Structure 1
Amino acid sequence: MSTQKTVRQEAGTVEENALRIETAKAEQIVDALNADLANAYVLYHQLHKHHWNVAGAEFLDIHVFLQEVYEDVEDAADELAERLQALGGVPHASMTTLAEEATVEPEDENVYDIRTSLSNDLEMMGDMIESYREHVELVNGLGDYATGEMLREQLEDLEEHAHHVEHYLEDDTLVLESATK
């Protein structure tokens, strides 16, 4: 095994790109996308945590739903990272950097009831939706319409997931509360 290490590109730098987006503009876009990437991984891990820990009468439906959502979030993160690289940037990849650069606040390590967990997911999704909207406007203003389209598609998926979480949180349910409460 070779011990020689060659850094091909320093983290935090943006090089010229084949997409012909000026480096100064690409730097702004890369910063925005890296924030979205960090947020996606925070949400991914929180959703995964809730997928692992969900219990109760609605276990299976919520368990399956959360898996679908975290898989969509992971796919979105991959797409963000690949676009970052195409723009000449370096996608955030270490857990430390992702946690530091995320603009959303993750839930702590405790296991909560599913209503609390889903409420926390919905709050994070809402913060990310607002960020996506700002970033769509930013990238379009910089003339990067392809990134804008990618973000719009991810925004639509995130909004749909948030809407479904909102339905899970409605008080109309077939599950009756215990008479001992």
Structure 2
Amino acid sequence: MEETQEHVRREFGTVEENELRLDVEKSEQVINALNQDLADTYVLYHQLKKHHWNVEGAEFRDLHLFLGDAAEHAEEAADELAERAQALGGTPVSSGKALQEHASIEPEDEDVYDIRTSLQHDLELYGDIIESLRDHIELTENLGDHASAQILREIIVEVEEDAHHVEHYLEDDTLVLD
């Protein structure tokens, strides 16, 4: 029988020197911001998937496809955020408990709502995430981490675009009769 030995390579919350030459104190601040963004992004991802799975009605197909695409955008953003945190010498949040502890936003509960209410909940999350991303872009710029700022800028463009689409779905103009 082969013997295995468990060895922690990097304890969560610690920051190591990195090859990107951003000092540890600055890296720690950036990693904390990235981990919050990562946790927030996963909250959004799961809520979008919930709505993707539960959408019904005349606009089912279009909304189902949009919500699936928006969830994919969130998943891609999460990957970018996690990889950047790791590159800076940190450990990205990953467990459900850690994600919940680091998230600055609250998802809706487990109930299934009408699609208009669901999209309003999504738009609230998008707005909170956009504000946070703006703050973190400014933080990373001020710390001299221009690459993290650029990654966050690319993410915010996608987030704002998806939020704008949700806003359009919530407009009053529709072909569906009451």
Q: Same fold (TM over 0.5)?
A: yes
Q: Deviations over 1:78-137 (max 9, x none)?
A: 010000000000000101110121001100000000000000000000000000000000
Q: Could you say which residue in structure 1 is the equivalent of 2:98?
A: 97
Code of the aligned partner of 1:166: E
| Shift in alpha-carbon separation, 1:2–1:50, aligned structure 2, 3 A | farther
Q: Could you say which residue in structure 2 is the equivalent of 1:171?
A: 172
2:8 is the counterpart of 1:7: yes
**Inter-partner Cα distance in structure 2 for 1:97 and 1:88:** 18
**Inter-partner Cα distance in structure 2 for 1:100 and 1:112:** 26
Code of the aligned partner of 1:164: H
Q: What pairs up with 1:1-181 in 2 under 5 angstroms?
A: 2-177=3-178
SS of residue in 1 equivalent to 2:5: coil
| Shift in alpha-carbon separation, 1:67–1:4, aligned structure 2, 3 A | same
Code of the aligned partner of 1:47: L
Give 4+ residue runs of structure 1 displaced > 4 Å after superposition. none
1:2 deviation in Å? 4.2
Q: Which stretch shows the higher mean deviation, 50-59 or 3-12?
A: 3-12
Q: Deviations over 1:4-36 (max 9, x none)?
A: 100000001110000000000000000000000
**Inter-partner Cα distance in structure 2 for 1:100 and 1:111:** 24
Q: Deviations over 1:38-61 (max 9, x none)?
A: 000000000000000000000000
1:3 deviation in Å? 3.8
Code of the aligned partner of 2:101: E
Code of the aligned partner of 1:23: V
Code of the aligned partner of 2:7: T
Gaps of 5+ in 1: none
- TM-align CA RMSD: 0.7
Question: Percent of aligned positions with the same letter in both sequences?
Answer: 63
**Inter-partner Cα distance in structure 2 for 1:116 and 1:37:** 25
Gaps of 5+ in 2: none
